[in-house]
């Protein structure tokens, strides 16, 4: 369609610029996605969990695992690509965020914010009061993302990461059930949509029930 339209202007002095919009979709993890998730884990998290580990997430009722995929328009064909994933465990009224990863080729375009937004929204819907996570002290990008979403430092776990002996910062955010948080979620979503649109991305209507 796009190519046919461009062809129809060839040989004329009319120049045409078509903006490409690629679509993003958030869905719960499915069994078929497991091998691709393990591949993405290797390239974005350095091989944190095995296939068995991810399979356990599928089977666990307290695990809430969201997958971000993209539909890219290339010529006349659309191709689908796994772009990221995030997960939290609900433990009593606390959401423990265990994973957040975006494909290295697509970082810095707002997708990390989008996934975190949907995790927080889902946590609120699931009745969680607070959210918490651990982050390496050296992971400035992730830290700045979490701080932007209102997470506050509450302590440190000394030498928490076995590979480097690095400390983990413990972050918390409370008030997920407050009326203010509903407004904050709405503002985040607008800001995230704008930043994704500036990189040519648009969200598809939700396939997962994360209604507020």
Ligand X SMILES: CC(C)(COP(=O)(O)OP(=O)(O)OC[C@H]1O[C@@H](n2cnc3c(N)ncnc32)[C@H](O)[C@@H]1OP(=O)(O)O)[C@@H](O)C(=O)NCCC(=O)NCCS
| Contact predicate 100/90, CB 8 Å | no
146 is catalytic: yes
CB atoms within 10 A of CB 182: 13
CB of 109 to ligand X, least distance (A): 5
Q: Is residue 134 among the annotated active site residues? A: yes
The H or E element spanning position 125 is helix 111-125
Residues in touch with ligand X (CB under 6 A): 44-45, 100-102, 107-113, 135, 139-142, 144-145, 148, 195
How many other CB atoms are found less than 10 A from the CB of residue 35?
11
Q: Give the nearest residue (CB) to ligand X.
A: 112
Q: Give the nearer residue to ligand X in terms of CB position, either 21 or 43.
A: 43
Name which of 168 and 176 has its Cβ closer to ligand X: 168
Work out the burial of residue 134: count CB atoms within 10 Å of its CB; fewer than 13 is exposed, 13-18 middle, 19 or more buried: middle
**Shortest distance in whole angstroms from residue 36 CB to ligand X:** 15
Task: Quote the CA–CA distance of 154 and 131 in Å, as a whole number.
Answer: 12
- Kindly name the residue from 134, 166, 191, 203 that is annotated as catalytic: 134
Q: Which is nearer to ligand X, 132 or 195 (CB)?
A: 195
Catalytic residue set = 134, 146
């Amino acid at each position: 369609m796009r190519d046919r339209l461009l062809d129809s202007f060839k040989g004329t002095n009319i120049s045409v610029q078509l903006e490409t919009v690629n679509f993003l979709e958030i869905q719960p993890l499915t069994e078929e996605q497991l091998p691709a998730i393990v591949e993405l884990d290797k390239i974005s998290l350095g091989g944190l969990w095995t296939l068995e580990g991810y399979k356990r997430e599928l089977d666990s009722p307290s695990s809430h695992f969201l997958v971000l995929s993209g539909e890219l328009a290339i010529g006349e064909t659309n191709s689908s690509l796994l772009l990221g994933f995030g997960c939290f465990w609900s433990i009593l009224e606390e959401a423990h965020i265990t994973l957040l990863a975006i494909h290295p080729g697509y970082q810095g375009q707002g997708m990390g914010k989008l996934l975190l937004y949907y995790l927080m929204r889902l946590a609120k819907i699931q009745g969680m009061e607070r959210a918490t996570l651990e982050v390496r002290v050296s992971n400035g990008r992730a830290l700045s993302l979490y701080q932007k979403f209102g997470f506050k430092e509450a302590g440190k776990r000394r030498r928490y990461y076995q590979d480097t002996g690095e400390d983990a910062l413990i972050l918390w955010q409370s008030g997920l059930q407050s009326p203010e948080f509903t407004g904050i979620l709405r503002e985040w979503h607008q800001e995230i949509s704008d930043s994704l649109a500036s990189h040519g991305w648009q969200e598809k209507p939700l396939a997962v029930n994360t209604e507020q």
